[in-house]
Every structure is written in structure tokens, then in C-alpha cells.
Structure 1
């Protein structure tokens, strides 16, 4: 028996699979656009209409943020990135807190870059 039969782990699986494709966030690029549009709509509604409709805009945009974050995390998980339980925290925070969507955008960039470097796809 060769020693390769006893080796286990992610690195061995990557070697067996052959050439890896780079990891990309499927919905990550849309997130800043939706965030900017939501911020503009929220500002206009709160200035000209009032706080009650502005709160409705806040809720609707955060449902979109949470949905995009969840879809992006699921697409990254499908490409081999492990999130653990933090994926639930990102989803819940994106639904409730105002600045989580830009924070997720920056954090996911770092995670994607780190994974692509570990796959030796980025020089």
C-alpha cells in the first residue's frame, strides 16, 4: 500500500480533483449597487415623505441584503469555502443592521482572495 491511501484532508482532495477553478462570489458584485440604491431611496423617502415609509424602505432593502448575502454564501459554499455557523450570523445581521452589507462585501473579498491563494490560482 502506498502512503497516499492514508492521506486525508482538503489538500489531498484538491490534488485528486486536478485543476481548480477560481472562487467567485456570484452575487457579491450586485450587493454595493443594491446598497447604494437602497440608501438613496431611504434618504429621499425620509426627507420628503416621513419616518414611517422610510422604515418600510429600511425593511424591504434589508430583506434584499439578507437574501443576497445568503445566496452569495451558498454559492461560495458550493465552491468549497467552509463558513461554519458564521453564515447564520451574517444572514441575521444583514437583515437587522444597517452596515453589515458593506462589511460582508469587504470580508467576503478577503475570504475569496485567501481561498484562491490557497488554491494557487492568484500570484
Structure 2
């Protein structure tokens, strides 16, 4: 047999690093803190204070989403023009941060499965047995 590796042998040795979304986990925390602040400020200060809280929250959301997508793109996860849509929507709409949290988690998980970094099925089921692992009854 020659020494060249073919097919899956090459892919098994070429494992790419996992994609991580470091800022993604902060979004629900900021959303919850912002909701509590919105409630407290609207009760004690009034609608002008509540509007200021909403404005600042949306700036935080947009900034964190921008940073998160930027980090993911550096790791090789392509977002295309959607990155601009997510950033703009986070500035305008209140629930986009939570939707982004779910969507980006799904996107990162799919990319990690595609890269085959141990998060996904390798294509071999548990029932598959390598021929070299089988015990011959005559060996005992």
C-alpha cells in the first residue's frame, strides 16, 4: 500500500477550531436587566426616562451584536450582508436581541458540526465496528 492518504483520512487529521460566540451569552442578561430598569424608571421617572432606557438598551444590543458577529467572522463563520440587517434591527426593534441569541446559537452549532470538531456525529454510528476490533473466536 502506498503512503498517500486519501478521502476521509485527510479530513480526520485536519480538524478546524470550534467557532465561539463570546458575547452572545451576555444578551439575555442585558435584556433582563434592561426590562427591570425600564419597569423601575417608568414607574418613578416617567415616559421620558423610560424612552432613554430603551434607547440605551438598543445601543448596547447593537454594539454587542456587532462585536459578536465580528468575532465570529474572524473565526471563519460567514454572515454575508445579514450582519448589517442584524445590527440595524437591534437598534430599532426590542426583541431582536433575543431572536439573534437563538439564531446565532443555531448558526454556530451548525458550523461546528460542519467542521466536525466533536460536536457532531462523525458519520459512524455506535453500532459500526471496525474489522480490526472484532475478536476472533479461535483466538481464545
Is TM > 0.5 for Structure 1 vs Structure 2? yes
Q: Which runs of 5+ in 2 are unaligned?
A: 1-10, 121-140
* Runs of 4+, deviation exceeding 4 Å: none
Please tell me the root mean square deviation across aligned C-alpha atoms, in Å: 1.3
Partner of 1:26: 22
Structure 2: how far apart are the matches of 1:65 and 1:116?
25
1:21-54, CA deviations, whole angstroms, 9 ceiling, x for partnerless residues? 1111010111111111111101111122200110
Structure 1: how far apart are the matches of 2:25 and 2:109?
15
Provide the TM-score with structure 1 as the length reference.
Answer: 0.84
Structure 1: how far apart are the matches of 2:82 and 2:63?
15
Partner of 1:10: none
User: Which protein is bigger by CA-based radius of gyration?
Assistant: 2
Partner of 2:68: 72
Structure 1: how far apart are the matches of 2:20 and 2:32?
22
Paired residues, number: 108
Provide the TM-score with structure 2 as the length reference.
Answer: 0.74
